[in-house]
Amino acid sequence: MAVVATACTRAPVATAPAPAPTTTASTTSTTTTGVTTTAPAPAAVTIAYRLENHAGLAGFEAVVDETLHDARGWGRAGFRFVRDDSAGAPYRIVLGEPDEVQALCRPYDVFRTYSCQLGPVVALNAERWRHATPQWTGDLDAYRRMLVDHEVGHLLGLKHPPDPCPVRGHPARVMAQQSTELRGCVPNPWPLTDEVARAARHDLPLAPGYERP
């Protein structure tokens, strides 16, 4: 977000260079004349990330890796997540205590409570990882996966939607600020079909920097 409800944010950091395409595919279409043509489909975009567990919480790395590689996640939008804990990985996913996350998220103010995306950094608040929020009505494991998908969604260029709850009683958008309000929707850790379709266009800037709220 620009201060997000899971509370994401972004700041004036140099954005990492867009990853090079790694795979190619083709799609087949038929013209009105009945001639079948083949056009290249968008190549997959690789997101090479490293994990930094500064809070020392057990299981953090496994949850992040599982979430990013889950068939219900952003991989559906043509992103390929590759973990690389070397210093050369362009994107960082950091689990930090409130003071560290507050510093990583500046100039956004996450009130030492929420999480953010800031340039090539996704900063996850360890207190939220431990306890979720009072507004979240799902279980803790689902909250953690929502947190990862939400903030990584910002890394992919997505913003908070104007309609966070498309249909009351149905799953909320993963880019909605579910940490603070569900607006009648069901807690949901995975991107909805239209969110996947928007990300799949690959026309949004990766690792966006600071934007005024």
CATH code for the domain in which residue 149 is found = 3.40.390.10
Name the pLDDT band for 33 (thresholds 50, 70, 90).
Answer: very low
CB atoms near residue 106 (< 10 Å) = 14
Tell me, yes or no, whether 37 lies in a domain: no
| Total domains present in the chain | 1
**Domain limits at 182?**
43-199
Tell me, yes or no, whether 160 lies in a domain: yes
**Does position 203 have pLDDT exceeding 50, yes or no?**
yes
Tell me, yes or no, whether 181 lies in a domain: yes
* pLDDT tens-digit readout, 76-105: 999 999 999 988 999 999 999 999 999 999
Using alpha carbons, list the distances in angstroms from residue 141 to 22, 103, 186, 196, 204.
31, 26, 15, 22, 29
Q: Specify the higher pLDDT residue, 14 or 70.
A: 70
How much is the pLDDT for 87? 87
* pLDDT tens-digit readout, 120-176: 999 999 999 999 999 999 999 999 999 999 999 999 999 999 999 999 999 999 999
Tell me, yes or no, whether 150 lies in a domain: yes
Q: Mean pLDDT, the chain, as a whole number?
A: 86
How much is the pLDDT for 61? 98
Tell me, yes or no, whether 121 lies in a domain: yes
DSSP 186: B
Q: Specify the higher pLDDT residue, 86 or 12.
A: 86
Tell me, yes or no, whether 118 lies in a domain: yes
How much is the pLDDT for 41? 54
Residue by residue, DSSP assigns 149-174 as HHHHHHHTT----S-S-SSTTSBPPT
Tell me, yes or no, whether 18 lies in a domain: no
Name the pLDDT band for 70 (thresholds 50, 70, 90).
Answer: very high
**Does position 14 have pLDDT exceeding 60, yes or no?**
no
Q: Whole-model pTM above 0.85?
A: no
How much is the pLDDT for 196? 98
Tell me, yes or no, whether 156 lies in a domain: yes
**Does position 13 have pLDDT exceeding 70, yes or no?**
no
The answer to whether the CB of 7 falls within 8 A of the CB of 98 is: no
Using alpha carbons, list the distances in angstroms from residue 77 to 55, 111, 155, 193.
31, 32, 13, 9
